[in-house]
Amino acid sequence: MPTVQESSRTTLTRGLLLAAIVVAADQAAKLWALEAVFDPPRRIEVLSVLNITPVWNRGVSFGLLASDSPWTPWLLSGFALVVTAVLVVWLARASGLGLIYGLGAVIGGAIGNVVDRIRFGAVVDFIDAHWGDLHWPAFNIADAAITLGVGLLLLDAIGVGSSSQTGARETEGGKTDDDE
């Protein structure tokens, strides 16, 4: 049976590996988008409900907190890195694949967008989902990973997918919360 330290290391490795995959996929997709649709700017219709279109997001989700101040990318990046550090600590203590992969996805997405803010002063968004003239704010792979990760965290919080119907979690020594 693995020790608590080995289990923590495996958990951290799994979550950070997913985070690295998210960052790599996000940055590769953004590199493609920068070459294919940002220079010169153009829209590519993929489906009747999906376009690839260039958008520079100088804020956070949905363009909130957008600003032309040269400090904004640094402040948003600093905040994202603090949150990421807290999530990594949480990940090291996590159990359950939903929680591990949810945290890994959020960490990877956050880092992917921080890379953009440091490189460009804004986040590269290019996925435009819409229904007729109703457009969802443009997003990228990092944003999708954050959204899916938060969904997994919420499912874990309400006990969906946990190994026990009662929501009991195993603690050190093999006991569950209900055993104590």
**How many whole angstroms separate alpha carbon 154 and alpha carbon 165?**
16
Q: Distance of CA 67 to CAs 43, 64, 75, 140, Å?
A: 25, 9, 11, 20
- Residue found under tokens 């009991």: 168
Reply yes or no on whether 128 is catalytic. no
Catalytic residue (choose from 116, 125, 128, 156): 125
Catalytic residue (choose from 26, 116, 128, 143): 143
- Residue found under tokens 């101040």: 69
**How many whole angstroms separate alpha carbon 139 and alpha carbon 120?**
16
Instruction: Return the CA Rg of the chain.
Output: 19
**How many whole angstroms separate alpha carbon 160 and alpha carbon 180?**
23
Task: Yes or no: say if 107 and 71 are a contact pair by the CB < 8 Å rule.
Answer: no
Reply yes or no on whether 26 is catalytic. no
**How many whole angstroms separate alpha carbon 102 and alpha carbon 108?**
10
Angle (CA) 43-55-45 rounded to 5° is 20
Q: Kindly list the catalytic residues.
A: 125, 143
